[in-house]
Structure 1
Amino acid sequence: MEANLDSDPSGPIDKSRVMSVKPLRCLVPIFPSQAGSSASPQAPPFAFGAPSGSFPPGAAQFFPFVGSNEPPRPVNVAVPDQGRSTTNAIPSPVPLNSFRTPPANTSARGRPRGSTKTHVHEQYDDGYAQNDSYENGFTIDTEDSSDAAKRKRKARKIVKGPQAVAISNSEVDIDHIVNNLLRAFNLVDINTSLQADSDHDLVERVVMVYNLLRRKIMQLDDAKGVIPGISRRADLRSGTILMNKNARANTKRRVGAVPGVNIGDVFFFRMELCLAGLHAPIMAGIDYLSFKVSGDEEPIAVSIVSSGGYEDDGDDGEVLIYSGQGGVQRNDKLVMDQKLERGNLALERSLHKGNEVRVVRGIKDGTSITGKIYVYDGVYKLHESWIEKGKSGCNVFKYKLIRVPGQPEGFMLWKSIQQWRDGAATRVGVILPDLTSGAENTPICLVNDVDAEKGPAYFTYSTSLKYAKPYQSSKSLSCKCSNGCQPATNCPCVERNGGYLPYSNGGVLLSHNSVIHECGPSCLCPSTCRNRVSQTGLKLRLEVFRTKNKGWGLRSWDPIRAGAFICEYAGEVIENGSDSDDDYILDTTRTFDPLEPVTTDEHVKPLFPLIVSAKNKGNVGRFMNHSCAPNVYWQPILRENEEESYLHIGFYALKHIPPLHELTFNYGTPPVEKKTGPQKKKCLCGSTKCKGFFY
């Protein structure tokens, strides 16, 4: 037992003065990092995995996002490629276990001897865990580098043939992947001053790396299959690794707004808030500065996360009634009142001091039963506090916060969108409630609240790509997964994707390969198979809207998480794109900026000869404008049907996209021989990375 005593520790213990008593935790989450491991500087970045399976005859391999003229090399494992020999050895392992019982040679606090320890936060004491369930007193343990090196040498081997389907984390060098990601995104040895007071670019890069790593770890866990008794938390483990690598933003604790984080920015994991410097604890709802940090005699609250774990009430979007932390009803029916300590005390002191407090709103994620979407809603000020009886019967602290005026819309925008959905309010400027005339699963409205334009030029709405003739496939590789394709199986569709399923259960793309092999018409799996994500139609509520200076554009009422499928680029496959009047061409022979930053200015010339025109026939993808700093990218998707192959173009979110933010992608640069056709056009993307023109 641990006790908090006011008496002299050298004297007798006065048991009547015990302030609080808590049982020691017997299970401590242990997340070894990979200290001491190094990756070859020539190794490719994480997302540049090599494809598996052969391309249709006459179509050369290509990847529009690689920044070198060498063919992409596999990063994680050696995988079979239609019978060709595999020569790339699997990098050394760094197993990342989830919650587990500490080994016998650990200290009383559950830390392996010889390891170093880093505290993420002093305490995680929110009695109502919302989206993330962590143990109190969470710590991060880093593994001794010599032990890691021994395991790497032991597991260094080559996997060939069907064995590659059952690859586990123990056979993949996570540290190698992490180091490549950090180098690619310039997150190694970050400038100290920039890390303390970060800009939006750094915050964005940190969150993007976190999501790339998290999704990759999810995919690796997926391939291992379900292991009873093992709780996998890729979100927590990825954040732990980046914290140990010091790949984070806004390390300086502060009162008020955080540099580089905009009001309305969305986050899908509490760890993202921590890495961005917006809210330090990964569980507790109240973040505060202790007197050791602030220099004040009393703690000061700096941010709160209101995500429905308590009886909060803030439906008007400007006033938030926030419940304090602590206070539980135990299994033995004993009710414990909340105490004026830690976060509660910090909020009370902030009320009297009048300092601003950042507010993050937690909103239910419609794509997940228990998930939350976290929206930064700006700064508030505390106006009053009181105590009342909660539903459980215990005394609860209540705090009234009012949003500081003059800030951009945050949570209020979400409320407006919900009213449009419910029909409680009318969307201003609607020209057509559904420009698809029912062709899509979800209506797509046409909106103009800028000028008198009544709509785009006439075109025929088509939901898919129209081929004159398909590619010929060497052989049929149809699956027989009647219940849908599953990881860690001998499914040929899984094998064609390098031994992994490309999508999560929620339909998020887990890694970026040169081509995604989805199940085709001849596969026996159902339409709900998780390897048919792009074939199930639109899931987002999109709208085509009139921009101020770029004509028509595309945006979403829904928040979009990184890696989510948005839509296909529908249209007609044509022989060439020489028509200079066609502004709706997607030409894969163009050169595209790399998906991830690279250290060279060279770009690969994509060789896959697919040119799509959406001028006369197309879908909402045709309205997506160019940007030099896009939030969307495209990937080729291959579907096979017996001896025929069909290539499709899918749009995916490059990063988290808040509602009503314009969706854009990079149009690319045409080859030299085609530059005589399309002329340079003035770019109006408005980003800090704008080149001033595009083709």
Structure 2
Amino acid sequence: MAAPDHPRRRRQQTDMVLENSKTSGMKVKKEVRIQKRKYISTESSLMSRKKAKKQVRVSKEKCSSLGALLHKPQNKSAEEDVENSLVQGEEGEKALTICRGTQDFSISLPPFGQSNSNLDVSCNEEMLIRTRVRKALRLFQVLCRKLLQSEESTSKNRGQRIRIDLTAAKILKAENEFVNTGGPIIGSVPGVEVGDEFHYRAELSVVGLHRSYQGGIDYTRINNSLLAISVVAFVGHADEMDSSNFLIYSGSGGRPSEGNKPPEDQKLERGNLGLKNCIESETPVRVIRGFEEFGQDGKPRPLSTFTYDGLYLVEGYWKEKGPQGFDMFKFKLRRIPGQPEISLIEVMNSKRTAVRGLCIADISGGLEKIPISVVNTVDDERPMPFKYIRKMIYPSWYEPTMPKGCACTQRCTDSGSCSCAVRNGGEIPFNFNGAIVQAKPLVYECGPSCKCSPYCHNRVSQHGIKFRLEIFKTQSMGWGVRTLTSIPSGSFICEYIGELIQDMEAEQRNNDEYLFDIGHNYDDHDIWDGSPTPIPVSQAISLSNVVDYGGFTIDAAHYGNVGRFINHSCSPNLYAQNVLYDHDDKRMPHIVFFAAENIPPLHELTYHYNYTIGQVRDSDGNAKTKACHCGSHECTGRLY
């Protein structure tokens, strides 16, 4: 968590919001419209040709030291390969019909950070393009989950399911939501960082990292010479990742995908020729590591992990016999020094030194199914003592009102027969894999009064933590929480648990560090409402219309769980979701954290504390200031 002098997070902001809503509602709405127009104007300016050309020049200058050149493609066959990889024909038309022809098919994005509402053209370009990349990926991920939800709710024609990843990319491309589309980029891609993680090949194309959905080598023609610009290198499993700075890459071709045609010798053409030409020109090649996950049947799962590993130089190539007797090319690539190490390598290295900096083996004391360790490699400090709990502590006077519950005997459905689905607007808010489909003001899970199975996919947060988390000492923000495994977008992380108390008691406790006021989670749907999206974005719904403000606060100072250690960020990767399941009191929903994007291993988990400048004041009414050290691209420099 943040430093010891961290003031209360929510309460003062709650009072301000409540007062403003009573006295100046029209003014607040006007300001929302102003900020919305300002953001849309910024997005439009970023997409303008002038901006795009400037970004191309910036990228070219970054790559010039490596001997890279930036040109538009002249090789028609390469362009055709890229275009042919898009969803075509009936499948593409079906996707557009689903998304444009269904009125209730809408999406809402989780918040990025409050600083986004103040973006203008003068902002740092690197921050802007990074924000556009993250937005495009979040749109893609929400679309995939929404499409999957639609497929799961359809009981007929299960053997004719569409490819949700290609369909989502088709929609985004049609709506000009792809990023870095000015032409093939040699070298670093603006807005994409080493270690960024993707769970579909199509995501690589959305952000301009690797344009081909099928081919392992992306290449272009420069001055009548083919040059490779990126490769996707698959290894069998993440544990097989080689920690050296060299990569032996197998060439493309020779593996027919149609009929029973036998394999044939690979040819030194197209992508293979592009890699060979990179040797003499010293052109850097982007490497994306792909890791296939295997199910119990031994077959690769549709969703794999792709991690951007940085820039490599091709040092040599040779020909050798493949396992089936045909000739294949091998290329030796060396990683350019000075780049960040990808987190998978760091995780494997940490396994070899697992006891380094270990303070506590399991801070939950066995209460969580997965142990939560505490490590400190900064100093000798240990976390302040507290009682770890897994369920909220309610006041002794409180008697919860149990919801009626659904009468489903098997799997809950999206039809009107499931009362829980009806309360959620006619659909179950989670996919079958437990991922939340999209952010909502309030989510109803099945609870103890429901007759459905305990393993119903509408019971997510109540089953506890599913990912390996670690509490660690940060350099500048006290204790924090990071993940030791990859976390897909939409995944449940943990609940913010503690003592539920009234605001009056919170004032008397005089302990502001671990307070979370209920009813005013950070929400910025107004920023996205009206922005260009592939399908109609649902209208922003005020939390006050769904969650009743009752003056309650969660105090995790003496009783709490891992959620109490999660830090603030101006560019968070989690968001807080209101959830009800074991009672029906909208004044005190459970505060549950979900992943707003794909989170690689060893990345810190953060959410937005929702401060505003001038919000926090001392006893004399003077505004206090506190520096923000989150270090994100969008950091405002001040927490309040």
TM-score range, shorter chain: 0.7 to 0.9
Tell me, yes or no, if the aligned pair for 1:121 and 1:281 is still in contact at 8 Å.
no
Give the C-alpha shift of residue 644 in structure 1: 11
Give the C-alpha shift of residue 347 in structure 1: 1.2
User: Per the alignment, in what secondary structure is the counterpart of residue 321 of structure 1?
Assistant: strand
Tell me, yes or no, if the aligned pair for 1:185 and 1:209 is still in contact at 8 Å.
no
1:534 maps onto 2:466 in alignment: no
Tell me, yes or no, if the aligned pair for 1:683 and 1:690 is still in contact at 8 Å.
yes
User: Per the alignment, in what secondary structure is the counterpart of residue 465 of structure 1?
Assistant: coil
Letter paired with 2:269: E
Query: Take 1:595 and 1:657, find their aligned partners in 2: how far apart are those partners?
Result: 22
The percent identity for this pair of structures is 35
Tell me, yes or no, if the aligned pair for 2:241 and 2:345 is still in contact at 8 Å.
no
Tell me, yes or no, if the aligned pair for 2:197 and 2:307 is still in contact at 8 Å.
yes
Tell me, yes or no, if the aligned pair for 1:464 and 1:568 is still in contact at 8 Å.
no
Give the C-alpha shift of residue 545 in structure 1: 0.6
Give the equivalent residue in structure 2 for 1:364. Answer: 292
Give the C-alpha shift of residue 175 in structure 1: 9.1
1:627 maps onto 2:569 in alignment: yes
Tell me: CA distance 1:393–1:660, structure 2 relative to 1, closer, same or farther (3 Å). same
Tell me: CA distance 1:304–1:516, structure 2 relative to 1, closer, same or farther (3 Å). same
1:638 maps onto 2:570 in alignment: no
Alignment deviations for residues 336-360 of structure 1 (CA, whole Å, 9 cap, x no partner) = 2222221112112212322110000
Match of 2:136 among 200, 206, 223: 206
Letter paired with 1:445: S
1:565 maps onto 2:492 in alignment: yes
1:615 maps onto 2:542 in alignment: no
Give the equivalent residue in structure 1 for 2:425. Answer: 498
Query: Take 1:615 and 1:554, find their aligned partners in 2: how far apart are those partners?
Result: 16
User: Per the alignment, in what secondary structure is the counterpart of residue 167 of structure 2?
Assistant: helix
Give the C-alpha shift of residue 686 in structure 1: 2.7
Tell me: CA distance 1:212–1:409, structure 2 relative to 1, closer, same or farther (3 Å). same
Give the C-alpha shift of residue 645 in structure 1: 10
Tell me, yes or no, if the aligned pair for 1:255 and 1:356 is still in contact at 8 Å.
yes
Query: Take 1:505 and 1:496, find their aligned partners in 2: how far apart are those partners?
Result: 18
Letter paired with 1:651: F
Give the equivalent residue in structure 2 for 1:122. Answer: 79
Give the equivalent residue in structure 1 for 2:11. Answer: none
Tell me, yes or no, if the aligned pair for 1:450 and 1:547 is still in contact at 8 Å.
yes
Give the C-alpha shift of residue 281 in structure 1: 0.8
Tell me, yes or no, if the aligned pair for 1:313 and 1:320 is still in contact at 8 Å.
no
Query: Take 1:300 and 1:68, find their aligned partners in 2: how far apart are those partners?
Result: 54
1:246 maps onto 2:173 in alignment: no
Give the equivalent residue in structure 1 for 2:482. Answer: 555
Match of 1:338 among 258, 263, 266: 266
User: Per the alignment, in what secondary structure is the counterpart of residue 290 of structure 2?
Assistant: strand
Give the equivalent residue in structure 2 for 1:661. Answer: 603
Match of 2:306 among 364, 374, 384: 374
Superposed counterparts of 1:213-362, under 5 Å? 213-252=143-182, 253-290=184-221, 294=222, 296-308=223-235, 315-328=242-255, 332=260, 334-362=262-290
Give the equivalent residue in structure 2 for 1:406. Answer: 338
1:687 maps onto 2:610 in alignment: no
TM-score, normalisation: structure 1: 0.68
Superposed counterparts of 1:458-473, under 5 Å? 458-468=385-395, 473=401
Give the equivalent residue in structure 2 for 1:443. Answer: 371
Query: Take 1:243 and 1:467, find their aligned partners in 2: how far apart are those partners?
Result: 49
User: Per the alignment, in what secondary structure is the counterpart of residue 299 of structure 1?
Assistant: strand
Structure with larger Rg:
1
Tell me, yes or no, if the aligned pair for 1:467 and 1:573 is still in contact at 8 Å.
yes
Alignment deviations for residues 280-316 of structure 1 (CA, whole Å, 9 cap, x no partner) = 11121110013xxx2x222100000112489x98623
Unaligned residue ranges in structure 2 (runs of 5+)? 1-26, 33-75, 531-539
Query: Take 1:671 and 1:261, find their aligned partners in 2: how far apart are those partners?
Result: 30
Query: Take 1:525 and 1:385, find their aligned partners in 2: how far apart are those partners?
Result: 59
Match of 2:444 among 507, 517, 528: 517
Letter paired with 2:374: L
Query: Take 1:178 and 1:635, find their aligned partners in 2: how far apart are those partners?
Result: 13
Alignment deviations for residues 391-426 of structure 1 (CA, whole Å, 9 cap, x no partner) = 23322211111111111111xx313414545xx443
Query: Take 1:370 and 1:142, find their aligned partners in 2: how far apart are those partners?
Result: 18
Tell me, yes or no, if the aligned pair for 2:572 and 2:606 is still in contact at 8 Å.
yes
The range that moved more, 482-491 or 248-257, is: 482-491
Tell me: CA distance 1:197–1:322, structure 2 relative to 1, closer, same or farther (3 Å). farther
Letter paired with 2:554: V
Tell me: CA distance 1:657–1:464, structure 2 relative to 1, closer, same or farther (3 Å). same
Tell me, yes or no, if the aligned pair for 1:197 and 1:250 is still in contact at 8 Å.
no
Query: Take 2:348 and 2:478, find their aligned partners in 1: how far apart are those partners?
Result: 27
Tell me: CA distance 1:466–1:392, structure 2 relative to 1, closer, same or farther (3 Å). farther
Give the C-alpha shift of residue 593 in structure 1: 4.5
The range that moved more, 170-179 or 366-375, is: 170-179
Tell me, yes or no, if the aligned pair for 2:573 and 2:597 is still in contact at 8 Å.
yes
Tell me: CA distance 1:366–1:689, structure 2 relative to 1, closer, same or farther (3 Å). farther
Tell me, yes or no, if the aligned pair for 1:571 and 1:618 is still in contact at 8 Å.
yes
Tell me, yes or no, if the aligned pair for 1:286 and 1:304 is still in contact at 8 Å.
yes
Query: Take 1:143 and 1:506, find their aligned partners in 2: how far apart are those partners?
Result: 25
1:383 maps onto 2:321 in alignment: no
Tell me, yes or no, if the aligned pair for 1:593 and 1:666 is still in contact at 8 Å.
no
Match of 2:324 among 373, 392, 402: 392
Give the C-alpha shift of residue 319 in structure 1: 1.3
Query: Take 2:127 and 2:373, find their aligned partners in 1: how far apart are those partners?
Result: 41
Tell me: CA distance 1:275–1:141, structure 2 relative to 1, closer, same or farther (3 Å). farther
Give the C-alpha shift of residue 476 in structure 1: 4.2
Give the equivalent residue in structure 2 for 1:42. Answer: none
User: Per the alignment, in what secondary structure is the counterpart of residue 563 of structure 2?
Assistant: helix
Query: Take 2:81 and 2:601, find their aligned partners in 1: how far apart are those partners?
Result: 31
Letter paired with 2:549: F
Alignment deviations for residues 209-245 of structure 1 (CA, whole Å, 9 cap, x no partner) = 2222332333333333442442222221121111112
Query: Take 1:623 and 1:373, find their aligned partners in 2: how far apart are those partners?
Result: 28
User: Per the alignment, in what secondary structure is the counterpart of residue 582 of structure 1?
Assistant: coil
Alignment deviations for residues 351-392 of structure 1 (CA, whole Å, 9 cap, x no partner) = 232211000001235898342111110000111111222223
Give the C-alpha shift of residue 611 in structure 1: 1.4
Query: Take 1:175 and 1:341, find their aligned partners in 2: how far apart are those partners?
Result: 45
Tell me: CA distance 1:174–1:349, structure 2 relative to 1, closer, same or farther (3 Å). farther
Alignment deviations for residues 512-531 of structure 1 (CA, whole Å, 9 cap, x no partner) = 22111101012222332211
Query: Take 1:284 and 1:683, find their aligned partners in 2: how far apart are those partners?
Result: 43
1:650 maps onto 2:582 in alignment: no
Superposed counterparts of 1:452-491, under 5 Å? 452-453=380-381, 455-468=382-395, 473=401, 476-488=403-415, 490-491=417-418
Tell me, yes or no, if the aligned pair for 1:197 and 1:259 is still in contact at 8 Å.
no
Tell me: CA distance 1:670–1:120, structure 2 relative to 1, closer, same or farther (3 Å). farther
Tell me, yes or no, if the aligned pair for 2:108 and 2:438 is still in contact at 8 Å.
no
Give the C-alpha shift of residue 322 in structure 1: 0.9
User: Per the alignment, in what secondary structure is the counterpart of residue 122 of structure 1?
Assistant: helix
Alignment deviations for residues 67-97 of structure 1 (CA, whole Å, 9 cap, x no partner) = 9769x9xxxxxxxxxxxxxxxxxxxxxxxxx
Give the C-alpha shift of residue 509 in structure 1: 0.8
Tell me, yes or no, if the aligned pair for 1:214 and 1:235 is still in contact at 8 Å.
yes
Alignment deviations for residues 597-619 of structure 1 (CA, whole Å, 9 cap, x no partner) = 2589x996854334111000100
Query: Take 1:672 and 1:574, find their aligned partners in 2: how far apart are those partners?
Result: 26
Query: Take 1:648 and 1:471, find their aligned partners in 2: how far apart are those partners?
Result: 16
Alignment deviations for residues 449-501 of structure 1 (CA, whole Å, 9 cap, x no partner) = 11221x1111000112122266654x843234343324447222222211211
